[in-house]
Protein backbone atom coordinates (compact mmCIF):
# COMPACT_ATOMS: atom_id res chain seq x y z
CA UNK A 1 0.00 0.00 0.00
CA UNK A 2 1.40 3.37 -0.98
CA UNK A 3 1.90 6.00 1.70
CA UNK A 4 -0.56 8.31 -0.05
CA UNK A 5 -3.34 5.76 0.54
CA UNK A 6 -3.23 6.19 4.33
CA UNK A 7 -5.43 8.68 6.14
CA UNK A 8 -4.26 10.58 9.18
CA UNK A 9 -6.03 9.41 12.35
CA UNK A 10 -8.70 11.72 13.71
CA UNK A 11 -8.81 12.80 17.32
CA UNK A 12 -12.06 11.44 18.72
CA UNK A 13 -11.98 12.38 22.40
CA UNK A 14 -10.50 15.03 24.64
CA UNK A 15 -8.56 13.84 27.67
CA UNK A 16 -8.24 15.99 30.79
CA UNK A 17 -5.02 16.30 32.78
CA UNK A 18 -6.46 14.07 35.49
CA UNK A 19 -7.54 11.45 32.98
CA UNK A 20 -4.07 11.42 31.43
CA UNK A 21 -2.53 10.72 34.85
CA UNK A 22 -5.03 7.89 35.45
CA UNK A 23 -4.54 6.36 31.98
CA UNK A 24 -0.75 6.32 32.21
CA UNK A 25 -0.87 5.01 35.79
CA UNK A 26 -3.26 2.20 34.80
CA UNK A 27 -1.21 1.31 31.70
CA UNK A 28 1.70 0.71 34.07
CA UNK A 29 -0.55 -1.41 36.29
CA UNK A 30 -0.06 0.88 39.26
CA UNK A 31 -2.75 1.52 41.85
CA UNK A 32 -3.27 4.96 43.32
CA UNK A 33 -1.67 3.60 46.50
CA UNK A 34 1.31 2.36 44.49
CA UNK A 35 1.77 5.75 42.84
CA UNK A 36 1.42 7.37 46.24
CA UNK A 37 4.24 5.20 47.60
CA UNK A 38 6.49 6.08 44.65
CA UNK A 39 5.83 9.82 44.83
CA UNK A 40 5.12 10.60 48.48
CA UNK A 41 1.89 12.29 47.35
CA UNK A 42 -1.09 11.15 49.43
CA UNK A 43 -3.46 8.73 47.68
CA UNK A 44 -6.34 11.13 48.37
CA UNK A 45 -4.50 13.87 46.46
CA UNK A 46 -3.81 11.52 43.54
CA UNK A 47 -7.52 10.66 43.46
CA UNK A 48 -8.41 14.36 43.49
CA UNK A 49 -5.95 15.04 40.64
CA UNK A 50 -7.34 12.16 38.56
CA UNK A 51 -10.88 13.44 39.10
CA UNK A 52 -9.84 17.01 38.20
CA UNK A 53 -10.76 18.34 41.65
CA UNK A 54 -7.18 19.51 42.32
CA UNK A 55 -4.80 21.07 39.81
CA UNK A 56 -1.77 18.93 39.01
CA UNK A 57 0.71 21.80 39.16
CA UNK A 58 4.24 21.86 37.79
CA UNK A 59 6.04 20.38 40.80
CA UNK A 60 3.59 17.50 41.25
CA UNK A 61 3.68 16.90 37.49
CA UNK A 62 7.47 16.47 37.69
CA UNK A 63 7.25 14.06 40.62
CA UNK A 64 4.44 11.98 39.09
CA UNK A 65 6.08 11.96 35.65
CA UNK A 66 9.32 10.69 37.17
CA UNK A 67 7.41 7.86 38.89
CA UNK A 68 5.49 7.02 35.69
CA UNK A 69 8.65 7.30 33.56
CA UNK A 70 7.20 9.85 31.14
CA UNK A 71 7.79 13.51 30.32
CA UNK A 72 5.78 15.95 32.49
CA UNK A 73 4.33 17.52 29.32
CA UNK A 74 2.54 14.24 28.59
CA UNK A 75 0.58 14.78 31.80
CA UNK A 76 0.18 18.56 31.69
CA UNK A 77 -0.72 18.90 27.98
CA UNK A 78 -2.60 15.69 27.09
CA UNK A 79 -4.36 17.20 24.07
CA UNK A 80 -1.34 18.94 22.58
CA UNK A 81 -0.93 18.27 18.87
CA UNK A 82 2.41 19.15 17.30
CA UNK A 83 2.56 19.42 13.52
CA UNK A 84 5.62 17.74 12.01
CA UNK A 85 6.60 20.98 10.28
CA UNK A 86 6.62 22.97 13.52
CA UNK A 87 8.34 20.36 15.69
CA UNK A 88 11.89 21.24 16.67
Parse the chain into domains and list their residue ranges.
Answer: 17-76
Predicted confidence (pLDDT) per residue in 64-88, tens digit = 999 999 999 989 887 776 554 444 5
What is the model's pTM? 0.76
HEC states along the chain? CCHHHCCCCCCCCCCCHHHHHHHHHHHCCCCHHHHHHHHCCCHHHHHHHHCCCCCCCHHHHHHHHHHHCCCHHHHHCCCCCCCCCCCC
Architecture of domain 17-76 in this structure: Orthogonal Bundle (1.10)
3 pLDDT band, cuts 50/70/90, is low
Q: What is the pLDDT of residue 79?
A: 72
Predicted confidence (pLDDT) per residue in 40-58, tens digit = 999 999 999 999 999 999 9
Q: What is the pLDDT of residue 77?
A: 86
Amino acid sequence: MARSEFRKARKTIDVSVGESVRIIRELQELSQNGLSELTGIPQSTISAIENDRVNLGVERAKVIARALRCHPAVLVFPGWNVDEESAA
